[in-house]
């Protein structure tokens, strides 16, 4: 292997960690908006029910993106441990 391979893997790993952080921040923002929408149109349900329904809606709409990010991170972590 050349000398740049381990460095490239480490850089990709940290870039994917940053992508994961941005994706989670975007999901939190979307969760907040979804909760406000649910609260506006369904204010008779309890706080926990509205949060649970908003969380379920946001996570199920973006689960493929999260699985892809976590899979790439797992692969990169395995590569970094094997170096």
pLDDT of residue 18: 92
Interval 35-55 mean pLDDT: 85
C-alpha to C-alpha distance for 74 and 54, rounded to whole angstroms: 28
Higher per-residue confidence, 32 vs 42: 32
Q: Please give the model's pTM, rounded to 2 decimal places.
A: 0.73
Q: What share of the chain is helix, strand, coil (3-state, %, to 5)?
A: 90, 0, 10
The pLDDT of residue 1 is above 80: no
């Amino acid at each position: 292997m050349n000398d740049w391979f381990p460095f490239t893997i480490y850089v990709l790993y940290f870039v994917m960690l940053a992508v994961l952080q941005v994706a989670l921040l975007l999901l939190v923002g979307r969760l907040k908006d979804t909760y406000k929408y649910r609260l506006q149109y369904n204010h008779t349900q309890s706080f926990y029910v509205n949060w649970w329904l908003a969380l379920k809606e946001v996570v199920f709409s973006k689960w493929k993106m999260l699985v892809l990010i976590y899979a790439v991170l797992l692969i990169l972590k395995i590569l970094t441990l094997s170096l």
